[in-house]
Amino acid sequence: MPDAKNPSPITHHPSRIPYFPGCALKDQAEAFEESARAAMAALGYELAELPRWNCCGTVYSLATDDLMRHLGPVRNLVRVQELGETRLVTLCAMCYNTLARSSRFVGADPERLERINAFMDEEADYRGGVEVLHLLQLLRDEVGFEEIEAKVKKPLAGVRVAPYYGCMLLRPREVGIDAPDSPEVLEALFSALGAEPLDFPQKAECCGAYQTVSDPEIVRERVREIVSAARRAGAELIATSCPLCQFNLETHQSVAHHPSPITVVYFTQLLALALGVPEDKLGFAGLKFDPRPLLSERELV
């Protein structure tokens, strides 16, 4: 394990940040990871994949006695500690929420942490103190939207995009990256990219999440409301940060309800596009509804 006081110059370059992908980014959301890495490279940052990462558990346990459910997240925090690092950045909104909440949960009570540490045989004890960040926080608070604006090579002029936050970036308040009912971080980012962000009332509403497995009809209803509202606001694209929202909004958009579906992109795809990342690294081919016809009309691809 590297010495925290004498870090190696490779892992501790300030622009090289440990990154937690999670299952979706290696599966149905490869476009999210690919575009994020390319965009961050254009901004001078490297997202360095965390060694030996494991599933975060996807949903945070809300029970007081379910310590076992925090084991997965804590193991990932131990991996960060092993690198001698103190920060972990995530892209998936669900991973962000689960890791950030578990980190706070064990940090708040030494007894909980002691029990989890006692259970882990292979790993060193987790000492606490790893900060879990979402990429949007890094972009807003460290890179800065002015800096991003200055690096835009292809302004997304006239692209009308509805930012869709969903739940896990915003709630609960203690881990929310923005105001839970009136977030603006995605709007500010899209403005910096030259696009036209649109406000719509459903931007922080739940898509139905994992009910897509147990009760898809509920999700179809939710998606109809969210997509209709975005359409009414004049959206040509919906942009999100959650692979499950993205899946639900794509899969449960009813073609019967409206003949032309709205493309649902990851916010990093728009970021990468505006920063001049080549088209083959934007992951547009991996989406169900290809945004390229729209973007080529605007001479962006």
Positions that interact with other proteins (CB under 8 A)? 22-24, 27-28, 55, 57-59, 61-66, 69, 92, 94, 167, 170-173, 176, 180-181, 205-206, 208-216, 218, 221-222, 243-244, 247, 251
Phi, psi dihedral angles at 18 (to 5 degrees): -60, 135
Pick 39 or 56: Cβ nearer other proteins: 56
Run of H or E residues at 190: helix 185-192
Pick 163 or 176: Cβ nearer other proteins: 176
CB of 6 to other proteins, least distance (A): 39
CB of 92 to other proteins, least distance (A): 8
Pick 115 or 171: Cβ nearer other proteins: 171
**What's the CA gap between 278 and 57, in Å, rounded?**
34
| Beta-bridge partners for 89 | 19, 133
CB 196 within 8 A of CB 239: no
Residue 50 Ramachandran class (φ > 0 left, ψ -120 to 50 alpha, else beta): beta
Pick 243 or 291: Cβ nearer other proteins: 243
**What's the CA gap between 178 and 165, in Å, rounded?**
10
Peptide bond into 172 cis (omega under 30): yes
CB of 2 to other proteins, least distance (A): 32
CB of 248 to other proteins, least distance (A): 8
CB of 153 to other proteins, least distance (A): 32
**What's the CA gap between 99 and 76, in Å, rounded?**
8
CB of 5 to other proteins, least distance (A): 38
Q: Which amino acid is at 205?
A: E
Pick 244 or 300: Cβ nearer other proteins: 244
Pick 27 or 141: Cβ nearer other proteins: 27
- Characterize 201-215 residue by residue with b for buried, 16 or more Cβ atoms within 10 angstroms of its Cβ, and e for exposed: ebbbbbbbbeebeee
**What's the CA gap between 19 and 35, in Å, rounded?**
14
CB of 291 to other proteins, least distance (A): 20
Take residue 18 and report the two structure tokens written for it: 């440990």
**What's the CA gap between 64 and 62, in Å, rounded?**
7
| Beta-bridge partners for 49 | 19
Pick 45 or 247: Cβ nearer other proteins: 247
**What's the CA gap between 172 and 155, in Å, rounded?**
34
| Beta-bridge partners for 133 | 89
DSSP 14: T
Pick 170 or 262: Cβ nearer other proteins: 170
CB of 73 to other proteins, least distance (A): 13
